[in-house]
Amino acid sequence: MDIFDFSDGREGYYGDYGGVFLPEILHATIEELLECFRECKADPKFWQEYVALLQNYSGRPTPLTHLENLSRELGGAQIYAKRDDLNHTGSHKVNNVMGQGLLTQRLGKKRVIAETGAGQHGFATATMAARFGFDCKIYMGAVDVARQRPNVFWMENLGAEVIAVEDGQKTLKDAVNECMRDWVTNMADTHYILGTACGPHPFPEMVSWFQSIIGLEAREQILAQTGRLPDRVFACVGGGSNAMGLFQGFIDEPTIELIGCEAGGEGVGSYMHSARLAYDDASVGVAQGYKTYFLQNDEGNMNETHSVAAGLDYIGVNPIFSHLHDTGRVRFEAATDAEVRETLKQTMRTEGLIPALESTHGFVVALKEAATMRKDEIVIVNMSGRGDKDIFTIADALDDAKWKSFIGGKADQYRAEKK
Helices (H), 187-291: 203-226, 241-247
Q: Determine whether 384 is an active site residue.
A: yes
Minimum CB distance to other proteins, residue 40 (Å): 23
Beta carbons of 139 and 177 less than 8 angstroms apart: no
302: contact with other proteins by CB under 8 A:
yes
Beta carbons of 387 and 355 less than 8 angstroms apart: yes
Beta carbons of 129 and 157 less than 8 angstroms apart: no
274: contact with other proteins by CB under 8 A:
no
* Exposure string over 45-67, b if 16+ CB within 10 A, otherwise e: ebbeebbebbeeebebbbbbbbb
Residue (54 or 282) nearer to other proteins, CB? 282
Q: Of 366, 309, 367, give the one whose Cα is nearest residue 337.
A: 309
DSSP 88: G
417: contact with other proteins by CB under 8 A:
no
184: contact with other proteins by CB under 8 A:
yes
229: contact with other proteins by CB under 8 A:
no
187: contact with other proteins by CB under 8 A:
yes
300: contact with other proteins by CB under 8 A:
yes
Restricting to residues 252-271, which ones interact with other proteins according to CB under 8 A? none
Non-local CB neighbours of 411 within 8 Å, separated by 6+ positions: none
27: contact with other proteins by CB under 8 A:
yes
Query: Of 15-23, 108-116, 236-244, 319-327, which part binds other proteins (CB under 8 A)?
Result: 15-23
Query: Of these, 296, 343, 347, 384, which contacts other proteins (CB under 8 A)?
Result: 296
Q: Determine whether 93 is an active site residue.
A: yes
Query: Of 114-122, 171-179, 228-236, 253-261, which part binds other proteins (CB under 8 A)?
Result: 171-179
Which residues in 84-153 belong to E strands, given as ranges? 111-116, 135-141
305: contact with other proteins by CB under 8 A:
no
At 193, give phi and psi (nearest 5°). -85, 85
Query: Of these, 119, 285, 311, 355, which contacts other proteins (CB under 8 A)?
Result: 285
Q: Determine whether 115 is an active site residue.
A: yes
142: contact with other proteins by CB under 8 A:
no
**What's the full length of the chain, in residues?**
419
Q: Taking the CA atoms of 57, 163, 398 and 364 in sequence, report the sign of the dihedral they define.
A: negative
Which residues contact other proteins (rule: CB under 8 A)?
A: 19-29, 167-168, 173, 176-177, 180-181, 184-188, 283, 285-289, 296, 298-302
